[in-house]
Structure 1
């Protein structure tokens, strides 16, 4: 148990999605080293367990748990939430880290565009499903990994899933803007509960980002940019800070980069767009506006 492992996060429980590699794995390792009990998610059970075992060896903290879940599939996100609630009597921090970039338009098992489904809807759904556990553990924190790409993002409500016209960069920027808009709206809705919500830009980090379905541009640019990219441990610094730092306690509805609050894009502060995105997300995931399960429209 974490009580036997010293550190400023001893006795705290954290869930990091997408924790088998890159920023997510580095975030989980950093929080485990601080004494937290850490759960990580990954699509493949064996790979997720191997990552958890490696974090145990590196941090010296034995309290690292592996949860297998494909975050593009809402049934698996729901099963993950059930497993997390069963395993953890308390949940102090949720780090919505999982994300990706796909050059071509893919549909998920739910018939949704993959970028929007993984980068935004997975965080929306999982957060809603574990929110009661976070509230019961307050003060608690929700940290969502966005990107500076949010600055170029536009919420195209007439074509959120790129059915009429798909551009990988447009879809990615939109999803990262959605992360920030979601965070600000979540912070408003959680006011007075003791649960905070923040978003962040991790920087340009050396990861397997876009490796599944790279664009021609990324095939050219990533090797050129690689020498200038941060190591994953540096890229995880702001996530770890927002999840653990005493000075971040009570900070909510803010966007961070390099562990400092920053101004996000003008579009991210539109409350009407935030309310509209929330309702659409609730409809697409079967969560009502209070985060409870409802029948998903069209199913």
Structure 2
């Protein structure tokens, strides 16, 4: 029986993956913020006859302190973790800061993913075929850049720019992991599911919300179909320490988006920011 930890595990792709793997006989720890959605997942797991193999953990992953505490809790409760799916994300229309002084998209989309992989690496390396699946915007998308002098986007915040900065940062997180842990048994997969019908319209106000919902209905991939390539990767991890996919198309991880110098620069900056003395310093 494998143990999967899924952030964003009560919604969209995360929830669908949780239910799929529960039906396969795996154990799932779903991390989310909504108690109501957590109860809904647990009820569905019970209907599948998998209630004893499903756990919901409420956590605010935009908090670095909370993320570090979550990793410690998960290591204690699950000394062996086979799969870590990083799926927690929210499109932030306006700039908001966390209580620790970080821009919320950066905190949730970049810092939490970095900290969880760091914090759970030992537990993952105890598994026979461990894999990290980072659901992000990888795959040769030209949009987006890291604002090295203003990672918190205090100047001229735009939601799309914040999201695309996060996507580029996650490419570098994968590159940094491969460079720092070349002999690790963990397979780190960056995976872009593209346009999936997962509630993307929710953050918007009308009439934009209605337009996005219509576009999703017409063009988005249903979530049940969107998870199939992900479950295949989980079932048969790639040979390389780092790989990237845009749905089923393999992405070259030797390109400039995965520059090792930038990757080292980013992780050094993240370690600096998340050290107790570094919080709220930028």
TM-score (norm 1): 0.85
Counterparts in 2 of 1:270-285, with a 5 A limit? 270-285=259-274
* Conserved 8 A contact 1:103-1:168: yes
> Which is further off, 275-284 or 223-232?
223-232
Does the 8 Å CA contact 2:138/2:244 hold for their aligned counterparts? no
User: Which residue in 1 is equivalent to 2:22?
Assistant: 32
Q: CA-to-partner distance for each residue in 1:108-146, whole Å, 9 max, x for gaps?
A: 121100111111111111111111111222431111001
Query: Do residues 255 (structure 1) and 244 (structure 2) align?
Result: yes
Which of residues 19, 44, 59 in structure 1 aligns to 2:9? 19
Name the counterpart of 2:133.
143
- Name stretches of at least 5 consecutive residues in structure 2 with no aligned partner: none
**Equivalent residue of 2:229, what SS?**
helix
Aligned counterpart, 2:182: 191
1:268 aligns with 2:257: yes
Structure 1: state its 5+ residue gaps: 1-10, 287-294
Partner of 1:8: none
Bigger shift: 112-121 or 73-82? Answer: 73-82
Give yes or no for contact 2:175–2:259 (8 Å, CA) kept in 1: no
Q: Which residue of 2 aligns with 1:201?
A: 192
The DSSP-based 3-state class of the residue aligned with 2:244 is strand
1:81-120 paired onto structure 2 within 5 Å:
81-120=71-110
Greater CA deviation, 145-154 or 132-141?
145-154
> In structure 2, what is the Cα distance between the partners aligned to 1:44 and 1:296?
31
Aligned to 1:77: 67
- Distance, in Å, in 2 between the alignment partners of 1:203 and 1:23 is 12
- CA displacement at 1:238 relative to structure 2: 3.0
Shift of 1:218: 4.9
Residue in structure 2 matching 1:166, options 129, 134, 157:
157
SS at match of 1:154: coil
> In 2, Cα distance between the equivalents of 1:52 and 1:259?
31
Aligned-partner SS, 2:30: strand
Q: Cα offset for 1:298?
A: 4.8
**Could you tell me how far apart the structure 1 residues matched to 2:97 and 2:230 are?**
29
Shift of 1:77: 1.2
Is the contact made by 1:206 and 1:231 (CA closer than 8 Å) also made in structure 2? yes
Most deviating of 217-226 and 20-29: 217-226
Pairwise CA distance, 1:208: 2.0
Distance 1:18 1:80 in 2: 14
Aligned residue pairs: how many?
278
Cα–Cα, structure 1 residues 109 and 253, in superposed 2: closer, same or farther, change >3 Å? same
Name the CA distance, whole Å, in 1 between partners of 2:36 and 2:67.
Answer: 18
Match of 1:126 among 93, 116, 120: 116
Deviation string 1:35-62 (CA, Å, 9 cap, x unpaired) is 2111100113343133133134247574
Aligned partners of 2:201 and 2:212 also within 8 Å: no
Relative distance call for 1:264 and 1:249 in structure 2 (3 A) is: closer
The verdict on how the C-alpha distance between 1:92 and 1:25 changes in structure 2, with shifts beyond 3 A counting, is same
C-alpha distance in structure 1 between counterparts of 2:38 and 2:213, whole Å: 27
- Please state whether the residue corresponding to 1:67 is helix, strand or coil: strand
Which residue is 1:297 aligned to? 278
